[in-house]
Amino acid sequence: MSQDEIGSIVILLLILIASAHLFGYLFAKLRQPRVIGEILAGLLLGPTLLGRFAPTISAKIFSGSNISIRHTQDIILGFVYWLGLLLLMFVSGTETRRLFGKDDRRQVAWLAAIGTGLPFIVALLLIPFFSVQHLMGSANQRSALILVIGIAVAVTSIPVISRIFHDLRILHTRFARLVLSVAVLEDIALWAVLAIATALAKSSVLPKAEIFRHIAVTLIYFGVGLTLAPALLKRLHQSRWNILAAASPIGYLVAVLFAFCAVAALLDVNLVFAAFLAGYGVSGERELFAGSLESLSRFSFAIFIPVYFLLVGYRLDLWKNFSITTLIIMLLAACAIKLLSVGLGARMAGFRGLDIVNLAVATNARGGPGIVLASVAYDAGIINASGYTTLVLLAVLTSQAAGAWLDYVLCKGWPLLAGEALPSERSSGVDVHAAI
């Protein structure tokens, strides 16, 4: 790699990091989720604004005239994007050490079963009555398209809602554990459905054996990550020959993250789950790694995670094949179905009043999985560019609404769940949007 290539990458990263923090700060001042500001920064730097109105400047920043440098930048940015996502999931896993606790299992079961299953089924039943041909991709597979839209209606974001919880400093609460537990269960089921949709797009004959194998491996990996892996990691933490943990605890934590991801890659399991389970695996030893986890979290939220969300916005082009009518219809229908379904599930789980509203709005945030869903479906030819933009904006807008509502509830001094005390930062007047 030449000095020119290194220099261009350093300048580009400087622009991305500074822009992400600037817009995140501005949105925090407006009492909006910081993450939405970071995504907006990507929109402004990408083809939606800078690339359209100042293409010369855009080419100069992103080295559009030099193919070699641009190729190198694409590789580096792709790595930064994924590393930011994996670190976000790892940190989220370490903060949810009582995920699926005995006291929460009944409520999680009701919320996941009704709040995920019902909107997915309702979407599948209603979609055939509407014209979705204008969203169909090159694969021309209507069944796959219906499945993807059903997933988009039902999915809940782990990465974005985790970031919102982090910014609001409520990631340690029971409310956050409930929402994240439901989101994890939702994503397992919905990723399996996405595997079927992509298989349908590739072939008219569904390769059942391969799909069932992938689903089984994913479930086994997840089960081992929740049960056996934490116990094995505990022994590894305390082992005398674990020189890395003693010499560099932060390096050891990153090594655990990479090890989980390496195994997941070999098994063709989604790396997002791997990172989350790696964090969950070390969460039982938070006291042992408290300082190291705090340092790793601060560094991640200072560099990689903001750039990840900025790159999400950068990849959008709102000038191409975008329909405001389609977005409004999709947004209203998806939110209505999801909110009513989760509300019913919360009611069945024993929640009442404001608890139901808070749970419904939080699980309506589609964020990261909604964006990943759009990318996978677009690459597979299930949806076209218009469908891709619609699904990404659906994910962003529902996440923004969730963050704004939760911030409003906390500012009013209302509990997220009845009987759960307000976070001490709120009650002591600390700015919950303070940068980390």
pLDDT beneath 50, residues of the chain: 204-206, 425-436
In this predicted structure, what is the pLDDT of residue 299?
92
This model's pTM is above 0.85: no
Task: Provide the 10 A C-beta neighbour count for residue 70.
Answer: 16
- The answer to whether 249 and 63 are in contact (CB under 8 A) is no
Alpha-carbon distance of 426 to 434, in angstroms, equals 12
Quote the pLDDT of residue 236. 86
**Alpha carbon distance 198, 206 (integer Å):** 10
- Report whether 404 contacts 432 (CB < 8 A): no
Q: Is 179 helix (H, G, I), strand (E, B) or coil?
A: helix
DSSP-assigned letters across all residues of 309-321: HHHHHHT--TTSS
Instruction: State pLDDT tens for residues 384-400.
Output: 888 888 888 898 889 88
What is the model's pLDDT at position 296? 92
* Torsions phi, psi for 92 (to 5 deg): -60, -40
> Token digits for 53?
């109105």
Q: Give Cβ neighbours of residue 302 (< 8 Å, ≥ 6 apart).
A: 435, 436
Q: Where are the domains of the chain?
A: 97-158+169-290+322-427
The CATH classification number of 97-158+169-290+322-427 equals: 1.20.1530.20
3-state secondary structure of 105: helix
In this prediction, residue 334 carries a pLDDT of: 92
